[in-house]
Amino acid sequence: MRIANAEKKNLSTEIQTYLKMYRSTPHCTTGVSPAELLFNRTLRTKLPDIQIRSHDDTEVRDRDSQRKEKGKLYADTRRNATTNDLKAGDSVLVKQNRGNKLSTTFNPKPFTLLEKHGNSVVVQNDDGDTYKRNVTHIKRFIERKSSENVNSENQNVNNENQNVNSENQNVNQNVNSENQNVNNENQNVNSENQNVNQNVNSENQNVYSENQNVYSEIQNQNISSENQNVLKGNQNGGINDKAQSNKLMKSVPSLEPSKPSRPTRDRKLPSRYKDFVLSN
Give the pLDDT mean for 193-203: 85
Residue 29 has pLDDT above 90, yes or no: no
Three-state DSSP class for residue 276: coil
Binned at pLDDT 50, 70 and 90, residue 183 comes out as confident
pLDDT recorded at residue 85: 84
Give the pLDDT mean for 149-166: 83
What percent of the chain has a predicted confidence (pLDDT) above 70? 76
Judge whether 238 and 245 are in contact, CB under 8 Å.
Answer: no
pLDDT recorded at residue 96: 92
Q: Where are the domains of the chain?
A: 2-78, 91-140, 146-214
Number of helices followed by number of strands (H, E) in the chain = 5, 5
pLDDT recorded at residue 115: 92
Binned at pLDDT 50, 70 and 90, residue 129 comes out as very high
Residue 258 has pLDDT above 70, yes or no: no
**pLDDT tens, position by position, 35-46:** 888 888 877 777
Q: Rounded to the nearest 5°, which phi and psi values hold at 68?
A: -70, -40
Q: DSSP labels for 118-170?
A: TTEEEEE-TTS-EEEEEGGGEEE--PPPPHHHHHHHHHHHHHHHHHHHHHHHH
Distance of CA 151 to the CA centre of its chain: 42
**pLDDT tens, position by position, 47-103:** 666 666 666 678 888 999 999 999 999 998 998 888 888 889 899 999 998 888 888
Judge whether 43 and 20 are in contact, CB under 8 Å.
Answer: yes
Give the pLDDT mean for 8-23: 89
Q: What is the mean pLDDT of the chain?
A: 81
Distance CA 280, CA 277 (A): 10
Range scoring the smallest mean pLDDT among 25-29, 99-103, 269-273: 269-273
The answer regarding whether domain 91-140 maps to CATH 2.30.30 reads yes
Residue 121 has pLDDT above 90, yes or no: yes
Judge whether 42 and 36 are in contact, CB under 8 Å.
Answer: yes
- In what helix (H) or strand (E) does residue 184 lie, and over which residues does it extend? helix 147-251
